[in-house]
Structure 1
Amino acid sequence: MPDMNVKTPEQPAQATAAPPRFYEGDTYCKDNSVGFLMKRCLAVLLRNLEHRMQALDLTGTQWHPLIHVLEGCDTVAACAREMQTDAGGMTRMLDRLETKGLLVRERSTVDRRVVHLALTPKGREVAQQVPAVLAEVLNEHLRGFTAQDFATLMDLLRRFVDNGDALAAASNAGPGPKLTLDEG
């Protein structure tokens, strides 16, 4: 039986189709940019989260480290990595949460460079309410989507991230930008 993977003169080589180009520099318009629309999506989501988190006496960014600590992120460095922020921004955020009595920091007795995080009882109570608020706001943003729409959206976003990660790795771009957590 002949090997089906070997090209013979009767089998023309299949041309590899170039991937589609969705943008061109001379016709680019920010209003049709995936990046611009994702940034708008994130901005409106954060605005709505900020509003809903007020009921828990949290700003739109203070809930984030609480969730990470609740889920087992137990050091300042690990929390900063998870949130893709710098240590200085994380320290300022943790200062505010500590002032509110939601968490405590304790320097490691084994390695003084390591600072452990723990929720206070009040912090645990508040942090346990955050997922319900997140779910409520996200569900409002997804109103009118079918289950298939949601699955497709999640798949497309994951593929977009995977492509971006592959591009960054191929070009040695390094880690993504650090986000700042400063708020009033």
Structure 2
Amino acid sequence: MNTIDSAAVPRPPIYTAETYRPERSLGLLMRQVLTSILQEADRRLDVLDLTHAQWLPLFQLLCRPEDTTAVTLARDLQVDPAGVTRVLDRLEAKQLVRRERSCTDRRVVNLALTDTGRAVAEQVPPVLTEVLNQHLQGFSVEEFEQLMGLLRRLLANGEAMRAPVVAPRDEGAA
């Protein structure tokens, strides 16, 4: 059976400047879906007195607790380090997070959940799974996997655009 790599087959562009309309924008639709998910999660997590900007770092620290700094947290969350520092100040004031000097490098300040912070952070995954499952209502497992695969392809295409272009090496040069 012959299979053709779908990426190798030239296809006409999906969007053109002449026919582009915001209501058909993939980016706008993805933003609306994300906003819907985050607003509902925020609404449900409001009982914990947390905003999206606060529960997301707590959840990240719960998932990846070792050697996390404000810089690595900002990178992982794809947000501005200064913004993360402000959020961490609030979380520290709520006694949910603490900053600890590294034992191996005193210049490094690692982040850790307090016991209270861990208890709060552990309440986030059940809420997120409920919100996500409600957004996926009516989807089959196969449709979900297909959607995830398509989104990964979009992401890979975006990453490929940002990859540095390497000039071919001239084998005859000394």
Gaps of 5+ in 2: 1-7, 167-174
Indicate the residue corresponding to 2:139 in structure 1: 145
Residues 21-67 of structure 1 show CA distances to partners (whole Å, capped at 9, x for unaligned) of 10110110010011111111111111111101112221122111111
Distance in 2 of aligned mates of 1:72 and 1:60: 18
Q: Conserved in 2, the CA contact under 8 Å of 1:51 and 1:60?
A: no
Taking structure 1 as the reference length, what is the TM-score of the superposition?
0.79
Indicate the residue corresponding to 1:6 in structure 2: none
Percent of matched pairs sharing the same residue: 48
Alignment of 1:1-184 (within 5 A): 17-73=9-65, 74-108=68-102, 110-170=104-164
Gaps of 5+ in 1: 1-15, 173-184
RMSD: 1.8
Distance in 2 of aligned mates of 1:87 and 1:53: 24
Bigger radius of gyration among the two: 1
Q: Give the AA of the match of 1:52.
A: R
Distance in 2 of aligned mates of 1:143 and 1:166: 32
Higher RCO (C-alpha 8 Å, min separation 6): 1
Q: Conserved in 2, the CA contact under 8 Å of 1:66 and 1:119?
A: yes
Aligned residue pairs: how many? 157
Q: Conserved in 2, the CA contact under 8 Å of 1:103 and 1:119?
A: yes
Residues 113-132 of structure 1 show CA distances to partners (whole Å, capped at 9, x for unaligned) of 32111111100101111111
